[in-house]
Structure 1
């Protein structure tokens, strides 16, 4: 009696197949960024106006130094109200997240999807040679999946 395997033969991806779709193909490059000396109130206005949930914080050399999100702003609203501090005095640099995880622009977009699932993050910055070059969000990965479905999935 022989045992048959139902696992198909593994084939190396062909050039141009969905296996070669990189994060850099779908990342946003026209970014809304913030500076550490901006007020959190200014950030909140920008988030609302641009309908985004957060953004990278960069220094004058466009080097990534943090991320500020709606959640970070919400914490400051609560803190300001409790201590009766004016929101205009609260600076991004004091309340941004500085332990920022980035991903490589050369990473396969579907590997990025796995990274989103395991990290529970909504966005990842892409840094090249120390400079912020892009940002990929969960929505960008969904767009990639929709675009590729017609070409490579049955």
Structure 2
């Protein structure tokens, strides 16, 4: 059975770090560095309006020679996000991430933001599933259990 997004979120901090479109890129980068994360969600009155990632910074700010101290997140954030629901499983999110070349997926339930899942979260869940399968097979082979 594949791990659900809800189960992944249960193992993470419930805190959702976000910024507003009016936040400067520099302030967002400071927050990201302090929290040791590579993306922040962009919120307006608790409504998800975008995401700002290290990739956005590299491609839309640094490579274009713009100043992160003056530039607003709203000008460089990624909009029109794909979101996932807590009921989806790790296989779903791995597919979505691979096909779209995303490393972060906001989780929305009944129109409300409930978290974010990263590629690292997904890989960790897959590795845990594989570890459990190996343990079960090893136990079966050694005769310690029956299926």
Contact 1:64-1:127 within 8 A present in 2 as well: no
Report the TM-score when normalising by structure 2: 0.79
Which 5+ residue runs of structure 2 have no aligned equivalent?
A: 138-147
Which 5+ residue runs of structure 1 have no aligned equivalent?
A: 1-17
Contact 1:80-1:87 within 8 A present in 2 as well: no
Contact 1:22-1:109 within 8 A present in 2 as well: yes
Corresponding residue SS for 1:88: coil
Question: Equivalents in 2 of 1:38, 1:107: separation in Å?
Answer: 32
Q: CA deviation at 1:134?
A: 0.8
Match of 2:18 in 1: 33
Corresponding residue SS for 1:38: coil
Note if 1:128 corresponds to 2:112. no
Q: CA RMSD in A?
A: 1.8
Note if 1:89 corresponds to 2:74. no
Aligned length: 131
Q: CA deviation at 1:41?
A: 0.7
Question: Equivalents in 1 of 2:121, 2:106: separation in Å?
Answer: 12
Report the TM-score when normalising by structure 1: 0.76
Question: Equivalents in 1 of 2:64, 2:95: separation in Å?
Answer: 34
Q: CA deviation at 1:148?
A: 2.0
Question: Equivalents in 2 of 1:150, 1:71: separation in Å?
Answer: 32
